[in-house]
Amino acid sequence: MAEKAPRLPVRGSERTPLHGARAVGPVAPEERFEVTVRLRRRAPLTALQTGGVHADVAPARRAYLSREAFAEQHGADPADIDKIGSFARAHQLTVVGSSIARRSVFLSGTAEQFAEAFGTQIEQFEHDGASYRGRTGPLTVPEGLAEIIEGVFGIDDRPAAQAHFQLRPGDGEAAAANTSFTPPQIAALYDFPTGADGKGECIALIELGGGYRPADLKAYFKELGLAAPKVVAVRVDGGRNQPTNASSADGEVMLDIEVAAAVAPKATIAVYFAPNTDKGFLDAITMAIHDTTHKPSVISISWGSPEKNWTGQAMHSFDAAFQSAAALGVTVCAAAGDAGSGDENPDTLAQSGAKPDGLAHADFPASSPFALGCGGTRLVAAGRQIKKETVWDDDPLRSAGGGGISDFFPVPDYQAQASIPPSANPGQRRGRGVPDVAGNADPASGYRVRVDGQSFVIGGTSAVAPLWAGLVVLMNQKLGHPVGFLNPLLYGSVQGKQALHDITSGNNGAYEARTGWDACTGWGSPVGSRLLAAL
């Protein structure tokens, strides 16, 4: 029997249909699926924050808890987990697992049971030949649970994000060889620290589809004169390493692995495969952050979509997870998008019958204040030197570095002196500015990679996130401790030490490059050895 207590909405859980989608009827009542319920922290992170997580404090002076101690002090309260268990039993739902560290309870049940438990209608939606299981409006829970539940994920299974990579159009390998680069060539141009190879470090890659073939990795790294990296596939919510063809998300997976591992060849590459839903995305992130087996010190995320596509509960929960990563000394690198300041490629949208709304949008999760937002440049080299570097802005609607002003997150403290401009949208809101840093991303100056037995030149800010992730583990190895949450340092003590190339030419549509921080390339691309020295 269901509870009789008054019900309250789960904060930020409101959902609207995808543009152009229409409800075609309820899902089958007996359809089974799983849901993740995210819970509040047992204790806030104030003590860790005063220990230097947010402040401009050198990495060597930061103190971090172990993952186990962090879970005990700042994970979910076991009593809250028990309350969710009681709620589940009252609605005939099954608790299939829980994690204090990840602050998550995993429930299994039927559509009918979840609809009754969370006070919603679950319907099938169709749009331009595709379909998804969805809902509209907020979710509700008994009054006593509303204050402990941070979010409920998995009832709606629409695609959550797009991969931020682009194949170089037109020319083949021979023509591209003069203007494209291998990852080690890019690392050399950016003066990445020498005498380090990532040994003892782990890079986590979040992937929402696609896969890799070990034979391709072996062949690719043989061409680079490197041993094949140690790559481990981690399954999340049924996701798995599932390569298909070069036109699929395999391009994203292989780009991420090959860039990160070529920069840090002795690092372990842990690839967390999850379904492309808000539940899958969040579960992969929390699993990577709190992974006591592989213990990644940096997480690279090359997937995202405009903030307007996300629920408030999702953005809050992702951001809270990244805050936990910062408190553990884990750096989170996130691609800032590939469709300029609008962040809505009209060709991609057309597949679902939608059109860009003409507004500027920051890409999430790069817009989280606890993520290192990674923007894009176009690089021209002469030998082993950078000859010219500008904003990647081939086409402000289809092929340009993402960046802008968050409509959800306020300006964080570390950006207070960065002269963040108002949004280009009506109302001119001032919010979190994206990106923080940049790197080579233009497909015209892209990365030579191997995907499903073929060689390609690929660009996109998808390449910049794993590039920075590789740099981070090299610095971690050289320093002997994690650099952790970089953002306050980049906006603070690193300034004036010539640790980044300031990109002052170009635009991404609504925003222009300028001296200092800008909403196209942040502070610019790295000068790795100087950044290491500054840290």
Whether 323 and 435 map to the same domain: the answer is: yes
Whether 168 and 149 map to the same domain: the answer is: no
Residue in 528, 502, 450 with CA at minimum distance from that of residue 215 = 450
Specify the CATH number for the domain of residue 385. 3.40.50.200
Q: What is the pLDDT of residues 1-18, one digit of tens each?
A: 445 679 999 999 999 998
pLDDT digits (tens), the chain, 535 positions = 445 679 999 999 999 998 889 999 999 999 999 999 999 999 998 645 434 556 788 899 888 999 999 999 999 999 999 999 999 999 999 999 999 999 999 999 999 999 999 999 999 999 877 899 999 999 999 999 999 999 999 999 999 999 999 988 764 443 344 589 999 999 999 999 999 999 999 999 999 999 999 999 999 999 999 999 999 999 999 999 999 998 899 999 999 999 999 999 999 999 999 999 999 999 999 999 999 999 999 999 999 999 999 999 999 999 999 999 999 999 999 999 999 999 999 988 877 677 899 999 999 999 999 999 999 999 999 988 999 999 999 999 999 999 999 999 999 999 999 999 999 999 999 999 999 999 999 999 999 999 999 999 999 999 999 999 999 999 999 999 999 999 999 999 999 999 999 999 999 999 999 999 999 999 999 999 999 999 9
Is residue 69 domain-resident?
no
pLDDT at 174: 36
Structure tokens at 343: 């962040």
Is residue 215 domain-resident?
yes
* Domain-ending residue, one of 122, 153, 184: 153
279 neighbors 208 (Cβ within 8 angstroms): no
Whether 401 and 492 map to the same domain: the answer is: yes
The answer to whether 256 is a known catalytic residue is yes
Whether 132 and 241 map to the same domain: the answer is: no
Whether 90 and 208 map to the same domain: the answer is: no
**In sequence order, what are the residues at sequence separation of 6 or more whose Cβ sits closer than 8 angstroms to the Cβ of residue 14?**
137, 138, 311, 312
User: Model pTM?
Assistant: 0.96
Whether 168 and 205 map to the same domain: the answer is: yes
Q: What is the pLDDT of residues 470-525, one digit of tens each?
A: 999 999 999 999 999 999 999 999 999 999 999 999 999 999 999 999 999 999 99
* Domain-ending residue, one of 136, 153, 170: 153
CA atoms within 13 Å, Cβ hemisphere of 385: 2
Whether 189 and 98 map to the same domain: the answer is: no
pLDDT at 330: 97
Is residue 258 domain-resident?
yes
237 neighbors 34 (Cβ within 8 angstroms): yes
Is residue 52 domain-resident?
no
pLDDT at 409: 97
Radius of gyration, CA atoms only, the chain = 22
Is residue 186 domain-resident?
yes
pLDDT at 52: 53
Averaged pLDDT of the chain: 94
Is residue 58 domain-resident?
no
pLDDT at 175: 39
Whether 241 and 106 map to the same domain: the answer is: no
Q: Which of 150, 252, 343, 518 is catalytic?
A: 252
Structure tokens at 348: 């991609």
- Torsion (CA) 386, 203, 374, 249 in degrees, nearest 10: 100
Domain carrying residue 286: 162-534
Three-state DSSP at 117 gives: helix
Per the structure, the count of domains in the chain is 2
Q: Which of 104, 302, 406, 462 is catalytic?
A: 462
Whether 424 and 443 map to the same domain: the answer is: yes
Is residue 59 domain-resident?
no
Whether 171 and 32 map to the same domain: the answer is: no
Q: What is the pLDDT of residues 404-444, one digit of tens each?
A: 999 999 999 999 999 999 999 999 999 999 999 999 999 99
Is residue 47 domain-resident?
no
How would you write 316-350 as a 3-class SS string? HHHHHHHHHHHHHCCEEEEECCCEHHHCCCHHHHH
The answer to whether 13 is a known catalytic residue is no
Whether 141 and 181 map to the same domain: the answer is: no
* Domain-ending residue, one of 153, 187, 210: 153
Q: Which of 256, 291, 442, 518 is catalytic?
A: 256
Whether 264 and 337 map to the same domain: the answer is: yes
* Cα of 7 vs its chain's centroid, Å: 33
